[in-house]
Structure 1
Amino acid sequence: MDNGQKIPVLVTGGAGYIGSHAVLALRDAGWPVAVIDNLSTGFAFAVPEEVPLYEGDIADTILLEQIFLEQGIGAIMHFAGSVVVPESVENPLKYYDNNTVKSRALIEAAIDGGVGHFIFSSTAATYGTPDVEQVSEDTPKQPINPYGWSKLMTEQMLADASAAHSFNYCALRYFNVAGADPEGRTGQSTAGATHLLKVACEAATGKRDHVAVFGTDFETPDGTGVRDYIHVSDLAKAHLMALEVLIAQPDRSLTMNCGYGRGFSVLEVLDAVDRVTNQTIDRRMQPRRAGDPAKLISDPSRIRGALPWEPQFADLDTIVSHALQWERRLAEIRGEG
């Protein structure tokens, strides 16, 4: 696309893990971009200095109106929200507020502000515990936790809003996002993060003394949960390509899985970390967590058909290496190493 078509993009949660990678991908490709983030789990250092960062809440319609006007926003990439599945079971109303109620306010502000394109960070948790080997977009949506429901409700709001207004959207259902920017500019930085690879990297770099393995009695080859791990930079690239489609085809909306179509168990991921670091992480077996399915593997046929998307970092050891590189860099940023 030429520069005339690269409209300004507002990235919500752009100081967070996935959002900051989307910001980098946009900047690298020459898109004008701004960020809104309340910095509750994000970090200002993750946003490039030349990118405007508005510290605030996505439900603050006055602030959103200001950003839309100041930056000339034409599209939104919406990453802001709460993402910890067990916490959603313990504190469901927090998730329905952060992920659903505030998304509704953001969608309304976008429509009122004439923002025509919206890309939504959704999740494979919308499928619940599917009884198929690979999950397609047509697999029944039966969430088993409030996190999944909160995201599915937002998808429904987008579909209904798109039908009623001059507005199109893409909902991208992520499987397990992992890794970090290959150039070491950003990565998973959240304290107390529950992502398996983040926890394993903290153990490998001495920040934790063990990794808890939640559930060893799943119906999987080694008894531990199997997930489809996608490199965060590949995921960010998919967002850019989806945005190009929305702009080129304003009457079209999309819902697509984001994964590689193959799964690794918890133990296989830990084996990869051991392999890359040439050391052994202490693994401690624990009971299953509430709301965890045994297996979630994507069928990526739709995204491969709709976008010219070719993953660059699909190798598990590469994903691990980038995550470890960021973990060491993060220690430098924080003066820990």
Structure 2
Amino acid sequence: MTWLVTGGAGYIGSHVVRALTAAGLGAVVIDDLSSGHPGFVPDDVPFVRASILDAEAVRHALTGHAVDGVIHVAGFKYAGVSVERPLHTYTQNVTGTVTLLQQMAETGVDKIVFSSSAAVYGAPDVDLVTEDTPKQPASPYGESKLVAEWLLADQAKARDSFVHTSLRYFNVVGSGHPRLYDTSPHNLFPIVFDTLLAGGTPTIFGDDYDTPDGTNVRDYVHVADLAAAHVVAATRLAAGRAVEPAYNLGSGDGSSVREIMTAMARATKIDFTPAIGARRPGDPDRIVANGDLAARDLDWTMRHDLLDMVTSAWQARQAATEAPRPAAQ
């Protein structure tokens, strides 16, 4: 069985590709390299360099490699930037998904695992987010992910054979392979690593929240655990087993920003005391997702603790520092 991984040259997608091949499944990648890297795709995995907005390229990827299903990871993933670029966000995440679904329908591919986001919940006033928590996205990014979930649900009503599930998660960190690391300029781990490597001091934005140590508590999951859950979801769809429309891939307890900084100092062996800055508007005290449904159906579990997450991310980042940094093209 072969799966097309959209966005398979990106940080998360490339881990999904390796999880597929490790499970003995075939993988094909389509990626426009707007934020991905060709070096993240294994040499023996077919790679179609194109946007999912390109219907002909999507069709070629599906039919040229006898694809059985799709793991849809591609998308514009920057929530903050999406506020400034809403039309771009909707084009990439909604129109792109429409194009993908159209080509799947025309080529008879009827299975999809969608890499969604906990951004569909916005900033809920609950300590533990479940799949039933009201969907109130706070950015065009979160809205676009929710619309894409609606598209899957509507397509399932229109196509009897069409099966799908969506995986929602907050912050993805760590590395499952020394060649793969997070290159996003907007994510916490790369920001802290780059600051430390430049000799600077990382900043915690607010230390007076209603949490045990006064700093925000957020959900962090290891990218290898996340990738494994995508593969289990895919194999469950392929086997015709029942799935929920959506699953939270959550830790259930979360980590505070101060705990992350402490783990950063330990993993990097760079002794630092983070600076304390002002709170950022709208930052809630705590957002953590419950992963019980995914544990029941997708073998979801937190196989890596916070130090594992930080250490693996740091090791991959150091390896990247010693080698030429892959350029998004």
Q: Distance in 1 between matches of 2:301 and 2:243?
A: 22
Match 1:196 to one of 188, 196, 215: 188
* More deviation, 162-171/321-330: 162-171
Runs of 4+ in 1 over 6 A off after TM superposition: none
Contact 1:209 1:282 in 2 (8 A): no
Q: Please give the root-mean-square deviation of Cα atoms over the aligned residues, in Å.
A: 2.0
Deviation at 1:59, TM superposition (A): 1.3
Match 2:146 to one of 149, 152, 161: 152
Q: How does 1:35-184 map to 2 (within 5 A)?
A: 35-165=29-159, 166-181=161-176, 183-184=177-178
Q: Distance in 1 between matches of 2:17 and 2:307?
A: 25
Q: How does 1:1-337 map to 2 (within 5 A)?
A: 7-165=1-159, 166-181=161-176, 183-190=177-184, 193-204=185-196, 206-207=197-198, 209-249=200-240, 252-281=243-272, 283-289=274-280, 292-313=283-304, 315-334=305-324
Deviation at 1:254, TM superposition (A): 3.0
Q: Distance in 2 between matches of 1:69 and 1:89?
A: 36
Q: Give the TM-score normalised by structure 1.
A: 0.90
Deviation at 1:309, TM superposition (A): 3.1
The runs of 5 or more residues in structure 2 that have no matched partner are none
Deviation at 1:95, TM superposition (A): 1.2
Q: Distance in 2 between matches of 1:65 and 1:291?
A: 42
**Residues 306/252 of structure 1: CA separation in 2 closer, same or farther (3 Å cut):** closer
Deviation at 1:253, TM superposition (A): 5.0
**Residues 157/49 of structure 1: CA separation in 2 closer, same or farther (3 Å cut):** same
Q: Distance in 1 between matches of 2:279 and 2:268?
A: 27
**Residues 280/300 of structure 1: CA separation in 2 closer, same or farther (3 Å cut):** same
Aligned AA (2:105): I
Aligned AA (2:115): S
Aligned AA (2:320): L
Deviation at 1:290, TM superposition (A): 5.9
Contact 1:75 1:116 in 2 (8 A): yes
Q: Distance in 1 between matches of 2:76 and 2:203?
A: 22
Contact 1:168 1:251 in 2 (8 A): no
Indicate the SS of the match to 2:64: helix
Q: Deviations over 1:119-161 (max 9, x none)?
A: 1111111111212211100011111111111101101111111
**Residues 237/252 of structure 1: CA separation in 2 closer, same or farther (3 Å cut):** closer
Q: Distance in 1 between matches of 2:297 and 2:250?
A: 14
Deviation at 1:85, TM superposition (A): 1.6
Deviation at 1:263, TM superposition (A): 1.1
Q: Distance in 2 between matches of 1:84 and 1:217?
A: 26
Indicate the SS of the match to 1:317: helix
Contact 2:16 2:227 in 1 (8 A): yes
Q: Deviations over 1:244-290 (max 9, x none)?
A: 11111267553100122111111211111012223234634444456
Contact 1:82 1:95 in 2 (8 A): yes
Q: Distance in 1 between matches of 2:5 and 2:282?
A: 29
Q: Distance in 2 between matches of 1:89 and 1:334?
A: 33
Contact 1:9 1:77 in 2 (8 A): yes
Contact 2:53 2:99 in 1 (8 A): yes
Q: How many residues align?
A: 325
Indicate the SS of the match to 1:71: coil
* More deviation, 291-300/226-235: 291-300
The runs of 5 or more residues in structure 1 that have no matched partner are 1-6
Q: Distance in 2 between matches of 1:335 and 1:61?
A: 31
Number of the residue aligned with 1:3? none
Q: Distance in 2 between matches of 1:332 and 1:75?
A: 37
* More deviation, 303-312/209-218: 209-218
Indicate the SS of the match to 2:247: strand
